[in-house]
Each structure stands twice: as C-alpha cells, then as structure tokens.
C-alpha cells in the first residue's frame, strides 16, 4: 500500500512538473485581419501574408526590430563599381528546419521559380530588377538566363538589369524569401502544408486552420535560435475589427494591427499606451476600372476624386489616424523629395465642386444630365464600409447613385488581381521598400497582377522606363515626379489617405518598435506570461 501511495505521489509530482513546464512555454497570440491567401513565398502579394512568411522564412537580408535592413542568411555582400553585380556571402550556420544547410543554389532555385511563368507568381515584377527577370517571366528567355548564379555553396552572385538604389531592400520582401528545393520538388504545390513545409526562419509551421488560426513553433535549427524567446505563435484570423478589439481587451490577443475607427476615441481613452499610432509608408485608395464605361473617361474619374472631402475622411471616419492624400506616393519616402500633387489641391471646396460639375457635364452626367450609377466594392471591415458610405454621400448631390458590395479579403483581392468585373474598389498599398518606384509601378500597363485599374498609358510607361535606366538619383526623382503628375491627371486610382499604423499592443509585449513599414517580426518580441 505504501508502495502504491509512493507511486501515486510520484505520478502527481511528475504531472505537476509537466504542467509547470507547459506553463513556461512563451506563447504569442497575434491577431491578423484575415487569412493568408497563400503561404508560398513566390505566390504572395499581401501584407496579411507577409507577416506570417517573415516569421517562417528568412531571405538574404531581413528586418530588425525597427524595420531597418540587416543581414539575414547573407552575412555580408559587396557590389561592383557600376552597381549592377552583387556578391552575397552566406552564413555557415544557416540551416533549414530539417537540418539541411541553406545553400546559394537554394536561392537560385527560388528566384528562378519566382520568375518562371509556370509558377504564376502574382508579384514577380517586384524583382524585374534582376537581369533578364522580365524576359524570363514573360516567356521570352529561359530561366537559366536569369541573373542569379551560385559561385559555390556559400557564394551567390546577382546581376541586375540596371543599378537600382533599392535593390537590397527588395530582397527583404517576402518574394525574396527562399523555398526548400527538395520539398517543392517532392510535394509540388502541397509543400506549404504543415506536414510538408521546410522553412529557414525563426519559426516552423505546425498547423493552419482556415478562418481560425495558424500555429507556428520555434525552429531549433534557426541560425539565431538562442535569441528567440517565443516558443509558439498563434496567428489568429480576426477580420472583424470590433470583435478583435473585444478579444484584445479580454487578453485573448496580444497584438492586432487595426482598430474600428468609430471607436478610436474610446480606445485612446481606455487603452492609452496600448494603442500605438505611428507614421506609415502607405496609401489608402480606391481603384477605378479604366476599361469599363463610363469610368474609362478621365473626366469622370477626376470629378469623382475632386469632390471627396479627404479631411472629413481623415478626422471623422478614421479618427485622426490618417492624413489626407493629394498624391499617390506618400510623403517622407526615400529617393524622391516632394511628391507631385493633383492640380486642384489648393482649390476651395466650392471651386472643386464647380469644376467637377463641369467635367461631369462634358461627359454627359451630373446634375441635369444622366444619372451615374457606381458600384463600390470593399473587403470586410467596418472602416472600409464607413469610408464607402461616406463616398456615396459625397457623390449623391452630383446625381451619382452608389451601390455597396462587401466580400471577404481573399475574395476581394482575387477579383481585383484576376481582372473581375467591378466599377470602383477599395485598395491600399504599403511600401515594400522606401522608394517611389514601389508605388508608381502599380500603374504600369504590364503590371498585370497589381495594376487593379487596368490603366494603360504609353506616356506613363515611357517615363517609368526612363527612370529605371537613370543612375543619377536626383534626375531619376524628377522623372518619377513627371510620371506621378501624369498618373494624377488621369486618376486611375483615387488616392484618399496616407496610412498611419494603428496597433493594439498589450502591456505584456516587450520589444515592439513602431516603424514606418510596420514590420514586427515575432523573433524580436517577448511575452510576459
């Protein structure tokens, strides 16, 4: 009997120890405003995906806690005198989660896969900076002709089409992340499944339950695993901003990167320092289908844009967390100076209204003319809905009738990317790197996946091409400003606001640094349990 009791006591002690060990696990509950459409780095296109992928994978370079570019898999790099050939030296301790070393050949495989037209990468054109990148992606050259070469296992040589001052920053973007060649070759598109994925970042994929959560666990083979404090990241899908706020207040979420704007006053008063607003390189805009009448008429697009009260949107709809936008490129971006602005920026509201009425009349619409019917599409969010309703009210006095259509985030962006039928649709762009090209390339005619407006203007394309071949940064900036002026004249997108990041960050979170790219890799955070 004594023996039995001793065994029971031992079992209780052992059980208690296991509970203690489990409680010592550092778990981070990260709210995400929707599900990733893909976890394939070469097929990604949205911020919702990037926040997950940057935890799972690491590129040649990466972001530090302040979103500055720092060495990643590459411990160092050098560039030749004319700025077109980069040589990267890979770390000797860089490994995949299965223990394989990360080799230069893995990056060759990944960049070729990105550019291979058979992959169907939505965002391949971000790296058209690579020698022959555009030709390969358009089927005009073989993938072997891409300007990426492994000199040896630890030395990668990348050749560019032309000098690009933002190239190294591009490599931190999720499209620059490597994939494990063996896994892709073995499993095909299913390499992204938790049971198949081999990654090289600070975390590994454990599970992905759509509309619920993604679970990632610490990668023991990560090259800097000793500095990673978090054991598990739960990326919780929370598209409803109000519900996410309630979950944050209840302690179910440690962070969430948006808020319901109609509750901002309450949030500021109640959460105080846990609500963090910071400058953010991003533009909130509405895309116009330029291939569909009457929206193919620039006069109609200009009139719609002119009568939008951006100050009202910034203050009353977005609670002072956004800035009125009269350009497409946000202020404070690198290699640019002052962005171009619309030529009616300094008109009074009355002058704008009169000019808009005249433009609509010329196009056959407006007061006294035909009724203009507009369908606005937006992805699920009280904030986007409130903005769309405000636009409808602003346009109503001009004999414009608006219908609102709401879909979830994945469906919304799939429609835009795949050129589905729409009139006007909500969109936004956050800088991948601090350079005006990263915004203006969205309107290039051959940017099929991201040019939601299907805008095609040879004058604009020629200026963008000229800028790409210009080495002098000041001369390049002037050319890009000319291109932006053409864009603003044609208004394929209606720029409304410049983003401010709006993060809910629990007092239990340490290591969170506000930054203009709003990048917050989990490896730099700690959670007080």
Q: What digits encode the pLDDT tens for the residues 206-265?
A: 999 999 999 999 999 999 999 999 999 999 999 999 999 999 999 999 999 999 988 999
334 contacts: CB under 8 Å, gap ≥ 6: 166, 434, 435
Over range 496-525, report the average pLDDT: 96
DSSP helix/strand/coil, 272: helix
Over range 44-50, report the average pLDDT: 88
- CB count in 10 Å sphere of residue 280: 24
pLDDT confidence band for 122 (50 / 70 / 90): confident
Q: How far is the C-alpha of 181 from the C-alpha of 365, rounded, in Å?
A: 57
Domains and CATH numbers, the chain: 27-229+506-527 (3.90.76.10), 279-502 (3.10.105.10)
- DSSP-derived letter for residue 160 is B
Among candidates 211, 203, 213, which has minimal Cα distance to 236?
Answer: 213
Note the pLDDT of residue 448: 81
118 contacts: CB under 8 Å, gap ≥ 6: none
User: CB of 399 within 8 A of CB of 365?
Assistant: yes
Higher pLDDT, 369 or 267: 267
Average pLDDT along the chain? 93
User: CB of 495 within 8 A of CB of 325?
Assistant: yes
Q: How far is the C-alpha of 205 from the C-alpha of 201, rounded, in Å?
A: 10
Over range 472-495, report the average pLDDT: 97
User: E-assigned strands of 153-274?
Assistant: 155-159, 203-209, 213-218, 232-237, 255-256
pLDDT tens-digit profile of 51-66? Answer: 899 999 999 999 999 9
Q: How far is the C-alpha of 251 from the C-alpha of 305, rounded, in Å?
A: 41
Query: Does the pLDDT at position 35 exceed 70?
Result: yes
Query: Does the pLDDT at position 451 exceed 90?
Result: yes
Q: Exposure of 496 by Cβ count < 10 A (0-12 exposed, 13-18 middle, 19+ buried)? A: buried
Q: How far is the C-alpha of 98 from the C-alpha of 179, rounded, in Å?
A: 13
* Structure tokens that stand for 96 in this block: 């995949």
Q: Count CA atoms closer than 13 A to 366's CA, side-chain side.
A: 19
Pairing relationship of beta strands 255-256 and 275-288 according to DSSP bridges: unpaired
Note the pLDDT of residue 180: 98
Over range 280-299, report the average pLDDT: 97
Query: Does the pLDDT at position 487 exceed 80?
Result: yes
Note the pLDDT of residue 24: 80
Q: Count CA atoms closer than 13 A to 339's CA, side-chain side.
A: 25
Give percent above pLDDT 90 in the chain.
89
Note the pLDDT of residue 298: 98
pLDDT confidence band for 45 (50 / 70 / 90): confident
Q: How far is the C-alpha of 58 from the C-alpha of 51, rounded, in Å?
A: 12
pLDDT tens-digit profile of 72-107? Answer: 999 999 999 999 999 999 999 999 999 999 999 999
Q: How far is the C-alpha of 453 from the C-alpha of 291, rounded, in Å?
A: 8
Over range 111-138, report the average pLDDT: 96
pLDDT confidence band for 3 (50 / 70 / 90): very low
Q: How far is the C-alpha of 212 from the C-alpha of 237, rounded, in Å?
A: 5
Note the pLDDT of residue 369: 86
Higher pLDDT, 362 or 449: 362
DSSP helix/strand/coil, 281: strand
Range in 19-33, 167-181, 337-351 with the lowest mean pLDDT? 19-33
Query: Does the pLDDT at position 4 exceed 60?
Result: no
Among candidates 125, 141, 146, which has minimal Cα distance to 464?
Answer: 125
pTM, to two decimals: 0.84
Higher pLDDT, 1 or 224: 224
Note the pLDDT of residue 469: 87
Task: Please list the residues that pair with 204 across neighbouring strands.
Answer: 217
Q: Exposure of 111 by Cβ count < 10 A (0-12 exposed, 13-18 middle, 19+ buried)? A: buried
pLDDT confidence band for 13 (50 / 70 / 90): very low
pLDDT tens-digit profile of 396-431? Answer: 999 999 999 999 998 999 999 999 999 999 999 999
Cα 419 to Cα 40, 334, 396, 451, 455: the distances in Å are 22, 31, 27, 9, 12
Over range 153-174, report the average pLDDT: 95
């Amino acid at each position: 009997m004594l023996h039995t009791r001793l065994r029971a006591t031992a079992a209780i002690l052992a059980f208690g120890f296991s509970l203690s060990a489990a409680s010592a696990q550092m778990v981070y509950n990260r709210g995400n405003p929707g599900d990733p459409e893909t976890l394939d780095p070469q097929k990604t296109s949205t911020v919702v995906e990037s926040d997950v992928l940057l935890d799972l994978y690491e590129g040649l370079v990466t972001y530090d806690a302040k979103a500055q570019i720092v060495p990643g898999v590459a411990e160092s790099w050098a560039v030749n005198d004319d700025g077109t050939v980069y040589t990267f030296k890979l770390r000797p301790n860089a490994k995949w989660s299965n223990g394989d070393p990360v080799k230069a050949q893995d990056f060759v495989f990944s960049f070729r896969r990105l550019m291979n037209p058979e992959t169907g990468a939505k965002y391949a054109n971000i790296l058209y900076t690579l020698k022959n990148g555009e030709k390969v992606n358009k089927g005009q050259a073989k993938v072997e002709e891409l300007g990426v070469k492994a000199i040896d296992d630890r030395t990668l040589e990348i050749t560019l089409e032309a000098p690009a001052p933002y190239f190294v920053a591009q490599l931190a973007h999720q499209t620059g992340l490597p994939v494990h060649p063996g896994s892709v070759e073995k499993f095909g598109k299913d390499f992204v499944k938790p049971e198949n994925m081999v990654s090289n970042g600070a975390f590994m994929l454990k599970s992905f339950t759509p509309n619920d959560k993604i679970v990632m666990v610490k990668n023991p083979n990560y090259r800097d695993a000793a500095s990673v404090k978090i054991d598990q990241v739960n990326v919780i899908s929370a598209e409803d901003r109000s519900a996410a706020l309630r979950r944050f207040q209840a302690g179910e979420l440690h962070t969430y990167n948006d808020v319901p704007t109609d509750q901002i006053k309450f949030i500021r008063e109640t959460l105080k320092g846990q609500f963090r607003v910071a400058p953010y390189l991003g533009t909130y805009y509405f895309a116009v289908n330029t291939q569909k009448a009457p929206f193919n008429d620039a006069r109609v697009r200009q009139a719609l844009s002119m009568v939008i009260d951006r100050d009202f949107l910034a203050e009353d709809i977005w609670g002072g967390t956004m800035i009125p936008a009269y350009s497409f490129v946000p202020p404070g971006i690198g290699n640019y100076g002052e962005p171009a602005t619309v030529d009616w920026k300094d008109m009074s509201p009355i002058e704008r209204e009169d000019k808009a009425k005249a433009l609509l009349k010329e196009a056959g619409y407006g007061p006294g003319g035909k009724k203009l019917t507009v369908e606005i599409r937006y992805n699920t969010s009280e904030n986007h809905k409130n903005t769309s309703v405000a636009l409808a009210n602003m346009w109503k006095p001009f004999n414009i009738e608006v219908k609102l259509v709401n879909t979830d985030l994945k469906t919304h962006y799939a429609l835009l990317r795949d050129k589905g039928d729409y009139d006007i649709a909500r969109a936004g762009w956050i800088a991948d790197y601090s350079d005006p090209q990263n915004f203006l390339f969205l309107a290039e005619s051959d940017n099929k996946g991201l040019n939601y407006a299907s805008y095609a203007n040879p004058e604009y394309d020629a200026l963008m091409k000229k800028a790409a071949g210009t080495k002098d940064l000041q001369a390049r900036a002037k050319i890009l400003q000319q291109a932006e002026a053409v864009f603003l004249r044609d208004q394929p997108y209606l720029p409304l606001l410049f983003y401010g990041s709006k993060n809910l960050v629990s007092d239990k979170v340490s290591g969170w640094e506000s930054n203009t790219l709003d990048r917050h890799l989990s490896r730099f955070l700690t959670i007080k349990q």
